[in-house]
């Protein structure tokens, strides 16, 4: 078994630039802890529990909106995605997960006016355009929230340009 893992690492090398550890993760990435039954996001240094105080429950954003500009799936990685969000009307926000948007609607929140990129989560894993580094068509896909009069997460080729769904958790 160890030989197979070693062989895979040698044949398919990859770089890991983890901003969070235990487990490793990138800025704006989310993860679900099935033992604690909690959703977390990486804030560049640590895993932070989503939701909490005054917002109506864990994982429920206190505000949801779209960036002011659009981009295809290549943001230059997770850190680039965070920079794009900060520079385009969502300072203090993070990229929404589909789960956070569903919880926002379940708690009386208003749906987004149009579609926007979202990060995959433990429940709605669709893709992140190869870690937000791909604008290729074909086999690369990213997750997006439909918005408008509809709700739901879908996947689309990374060459499509759209805004980013931003969530704020106080």
Q: Select, from the ranges 3-7, 57-61, 109-113, the one with the highest average predicted confidence (pLDDT).
A: 109-113
The residue with greater pLDDT, 150 or 67, is 67
pLDDT over 70, % of the chain: 71
Q: What average pLDDT does this structure show over 39-57?
A: 58
Is the Cβ–Cβ distance between 25 and 19 less than 8 Å?
yes
- Classified as helix, coil or strand, 77 is coil
pTM for the model stands at: 0.67
The residue with greater pLDDT, 31 or 154, is 154
Question: What is the Cα–Cα distance from 121 to 116, expressed in whole angstroms?
Answer: 15
* CATH number corresponding to 59-168: 3.10.100.10
Q: What are the φ and ψ backbone dihedral angles of 96, each rounded to 5 degrees?
A: -75, 150
- Classified as helix, coil or strand, 167 is strand
Q: Where are the domains of the chain?
A: 59-168
Is the Cβ–Cβ distance between 129 and 84 less than 8 Å?
no
Helix (H), strand (E), coil (C) string for 45-73: CCEEECEECCCCEECCCCEEEECCCCECC
């Amino acid at each position: 078994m160890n030989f197979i893992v070693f062989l895979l690492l040698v044949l398919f090398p990859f770089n890991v630039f983890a901003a969070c550890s235990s487990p490793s993760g990138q800025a704006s990435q989310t993860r679900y802890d099935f033992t604690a039954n909690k959703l977390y996001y990486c804030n560049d240094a640590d895993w932070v529990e989503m939701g909490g105080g005054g917002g109506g429950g864990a994982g429920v954003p206190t505000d949801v909106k779209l960036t002011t500009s659009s981009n295809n799936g290549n943001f230059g990685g997770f850190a680039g995605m965070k920079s794009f969000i900060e520079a385009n009307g969502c300072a203090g926000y993070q990229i929404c997960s589909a789960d956070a948007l569903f919880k926002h609607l379940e708690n009386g929140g208003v749906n987004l006016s149009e579609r926007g990129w979202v990060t995959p989560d433990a429940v709605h894993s669709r893709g992140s355009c190869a870690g937000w580094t791909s604008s290729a068509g074909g086999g690369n896909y990213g997750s997006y929230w439909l918005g408008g009069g509809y709700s739901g997460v879908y996947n689309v080729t990374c060459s499509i340009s759209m805004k980013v769904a931003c969530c704020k958790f106080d």
